[in-house]
Structure 1
Amino acid sequence: MRRYYTCACNFYFGKFSRFLIKKKETLPLHGQRDISFSHIKIISRNTEKIINIKNINSLPYNIKTQVKKDLLNIKKKKIIFLT
């Protein structure tokens, strides 16, 4: 069982989202530039923290590596299979 879970928070939509992605203040959600997020919620058994994306490097090493792996999953484009 994983020790830390991450969720995307503080979403932006549309033209303002594309503007913030160009300024590198937000990250696109699932490869779509029209939806982006700027904060992450780190959930453990006892606590929940909301952290800005720019402050990830200030986290402890074991949390930081897990969060970076999760961010790659959140940003990655989703493949849709039609049957």
Structure 2
Amino acid sequence: MIKVKALRSFNATPQGGLVEVGDVLEVTEVRAGELVHLGLAQLVKAEKAAPAPQNKMAPEPENKGTAPETTAAAVTQAKRGTRKGK
């Protein structure tokens, strides 16, 4: 079944059942082709939902330890090659 939107009012069935302008209805592919060809309706595009984002970050390996804590002073001294007390 395909959804179409009415551009003009028309009878949905030979017994009546008026379709008003702007109504959206589901019809078969053949009927949708007929209505579009006659200019009575246009196809309604199906709206697709965006896929949920996936977490692409690699998991933490279990065999890795945590880094030792360093202070800013220790890092600065290590860069200079000097230590306190010398």
Q: TM-score category by the smaller chain?
A: under 0.3
More helix as a share of residues: 1
More strand as a share of residues: 1
**TM-score w.r.t. length of structure 1:** 0.27
Q: Which has the larger radius of gyration?
A: 2
Q: Which has the higher contact order (CA 8 A, sep 6+)?
A: 1
